[in-house]
A and B are shown apart, each in its own frame.
Chain A
Amino acid sequence: MVVEWPPFVFLLAGALLALCLPGRAAAIVSIAAPVLGLAHVTGLHEGTEWTLPWFGLHLVPGRVDRLGLLFGSSFHIAALLGALYSWHVRDRVQQVASLGYAASAVGAVFAGDMLSLFVAWELMTLTSVFLIWARRTSASVRAGMRYVILQGLSGLMLLAGVLTRYAETGSLAFTSIGLEDGEPYAWLILLGVGIKAAFPGAHVWITDGYPNATPTGSVWLSAFTTKVAVYVLARGYAGTEILVVIGALMAAFPIFYAVIENDLRRVLGYSMINQVGFMVVGVGIGTELAVNGAVAHAFNDVLFKGLLFMSMGAVLHTTGRIGGAELGGLARKMPWTATCCVVGAASISAFPLFSGFVSKSMVMAAALAEHHEFVWLVLLFASAGVFHHAGIKIPYFAFFAPARGETEGIREAPWNMRLAMGVAAVLCIAIGVFPEHLYARLPFPTDYTAYDATHVLAQTQLLFFSALAFAWLQWTRLYPPEVPATNLDADWLWRGLGLRAFRSVRNSVERAALAVRGSSHDVVGAALRGLTRSHGPHGLLARSWPTASVMVWVAVLLGGYLLLYFARIG
């Protein structure tokens, strides 16, 4: 009898084993779990479901279809590369958290109902934050807290939306949701997912959290959370027009920050928002070509963004530095890492024969086909911009610019890091050269051809002349120098302006409370004085009245009562 386990089981079991096993054994388990999981996922049949009756609810913690399979395979590959890259790490917190995080992400993309999705969603937050805290600096602790707050808010909105939807429709099934009916639950779920997808304004958990994670942790972080959000959007909100606008904004605004940012891992964070923007546009357009493009780009992004985070993690691991202002001259010291970084840079920039080219062009072609001309121009601008910062700036300032810090004694990254980077680089090139293998696994059948003369020439021209602009700006010294600085972003609204607003409100409330207390003190004092006058030891109402007086008053009352009675019956 063949027992089909839910796809997340292998990674979850790996996380539980890593909790108990010693360091080397835990590292072996970290490799074995995604290998077994990937073999299992590739053998799954579409239409398979795992159901779980729970308090009268029909939960589906596992459901296999093409969309889930593609994301699930991608996450297992990312987990395998991440585990290989982290082989030297003997920190149990990171070993357990990373596998648990991957298991949760796999659980999310195979979840067949919204409650199972929510559980996986929250587990992703609870596990991934330890990859930030594991750096064990005061900055990482604070960044982790902010990360948890925003991710928790995302989970709350998702839960509120799911429960409202259940109350209104009686269904927990994870099917298309959309905004066509204007239901509040649809907006709540979209906003919850939007935080994880790094919608503008809610994106700061990436640019705050990732640069504060451990060198290996940021590789894991780059793979899962935003891709799960893209998956949920693709399943629940394909064809939702507002996503086209949001995605275009996401693709455009981060590249301005990326130009002036000094921390190269934060530059990659901005570049991640930019790439997710392309995916969100694709989902928003909603045609088969566009959704295929979005999903294919998510698959490729896991690899090339992971590769770029790996190369920067290797630089940080080896030199202890990650600021553009303090690096440079590392190409001769770390030739393998530099080469892999260039492959990642070429892939994210969508150079022909590299993976980004075969997926990004699908989204852009779909934008034109659906007459989103302005969005197409924005995406074209974003394509030039991402090449500028991720394609040129990162490799240049880390490896090829004149050295700005000490390079004596710096050696290549450990073998496991080099191996993981090498495998990721080979995959980036393989997908770029043989895209048909990726296309065959997309949610919708496609006969899209990335390699025609028009596409290849246009993209090559765009990138070469972007590079020419970089060279010219460097030559004329118009390019802004790398400066260690803090650039205010949307988080300033919460943490600067928001904090001031909170303090202002708190002070106003305190002043109002004092005023109320003061005036109430006066009122209560006056009332007490009145009571003392009437009921005090010498008060009128505290006196001992003679019996005769009482009788008189009783008689008056009875007389009055009789008069009223007669008046009523008369």
Chain B
Amino acid sequence: MRSAVDNLRRKIPGPIRVFLGACVILLALDGLIHRHVTHPFAGLFGFYPLFGFAACVLLVLAATRMRRIVGRPEDDGDGR
């Protein structure tokens, strides 16, 4: 177990570890801070973190597929 943690520590650079820690704390705060919710979705535990993560993943995957349709060589006359 300890060697696995050490292994991860070697693989993941320090700043990324700090960032991941911040994400965990932010997620935990969802359950600790009383929030004034104006929409039912916003009251769900982890709504904003999940939305942010999923939105970006979907955005990038969709845009990657879109590139196959709209992408042309740089000097393409029909484009720009």
Contact = CB atoms under 8 A, between A and B. Distances in A.
30 contacts: A255-B59, A256-B59, A256-B62, A260-B64, A260-B67, A369-B38, A373-B39, A380-B51, A380-B55, A384-B51, A453-B35, A457-B26, A460-B26, A461-B52, A462-B51, A463-B52, A465-B26, A465-B49, A465-B56, A468-B20, A469-B52, A469-B54, A469-B57, A469-B60, A473-B57, A473-B60, A480-B64, A487-B67, A488-B78, A489-B70
Contacts of A472: 57
A486 B76 contact: yes
A550 interface: no
Interface string A466-477: 111111110000
A485 B33 contact: no
Contact of A452 (B29, B36, B49, B54): B36
B53 A469 contact: yes
Interface string B20-47: 1011001101100111111101100000
Interface string A481-506: 00111111101100110000000000
9 nearest CB pairs, A to B:
A486-B79, A469-B56, A465-B52, A259-B63, A496-B78, A461-B48, A462-B52, A465-B49, A384-B55
Contacts of A376: 39
Given A453-B35, A487-B71, A492-B79, A256 B52 contact: no
B50 interface: yes
Range for the number of chain A residues in contact with chain B: 35 or more
A458 interface: yes
Interface string A176-215: 0000000000000000000000000000000010000000
A570 B24 CA distance: 116
Contacts of A465: 23, 26, 48-53, 56
A473 B60 CA distance: 8
Nearest to B78: A496
A125 B78 CA distance: 25
Interface in A428-471: 452-454, 457-471
Contact of A466 (B29, B36, B55): B55
Contacts of B38: 365, 368-369
Contacts of A328: none
Contacts of A495: 78
A115 to B, nearest CB: 36
Interface string A340-368: 00000000000000000000000001001
B74 interface: yes
A479 B61 CA distance: 8
Contacts of B60: 259, 388, 469, 473, 478-480
Nearest to B42: A458
Given A480-B63, A486-B74, A457 B52 contact: no
B59 A462 contact: no
Given A208-B80, A373-B39, A492-B78, A388 B71 contact: no
B14 interface: no
B9 interface: no
A483 B37 CA distance: 42
B64 A461 contact: no
Nearest to A497: B78
Nearest to A262: B74
A140 to B, nearest CB: 12
A363 B47 CA distance: 20
A31 B30 CA distance: 49
Interface residues of B, number: 47
B63 A260 contact: yes
Contacts of B16: 471
A381 interface: yes
A466 B52 contact: yes
Interface of B: 16, 19-20, 22-23, 26-27, 29-30, 33-39, 41-42, 48-57, 59-64, 66-67, 69-76, 78-80
Nearest to A208: B80
Contacts of A208: 80
Nearest to B75: A486
B73 A457 contact: no
A384 B59 contact: yes
A488 B50 contact: no
A463 B48 CA distance: 9
A263 to B, nearest CB: 9
A452 B38 CA distance: 13
Nearest to A467: B19
A486 B73 contact: yes
A487 B66 CA distance: 9
A239 interface: no
Contacts of A484: 74
B27 A461 contact: yes
Contacts of A469: 52-57, 60
B17 to A, nearest CB: 12
A365 B66 CA distance: 32
A62 to B, nearest CB: 40
Nearest to B27: A461
A385 interface: yes
A457 B22 CA distance: 12
Contacts of A257: 63, 66
A319 B69 CA distance: 32
A384 B78 contact: no
B39 A462 contact: no
Interface in A111-165: none
Contact of B49 (A256, A453, A464, A471): A464
A467 B29 CA distance: 18
A514 B27 CA distance: 74
Given A255-B59, A485-B72, A457 B51 contact: no
A488 B79 contact: yes
A349 to B, nearest CB: 11
Contacts of B70: 260, 487-489
Contacts of A365: 38
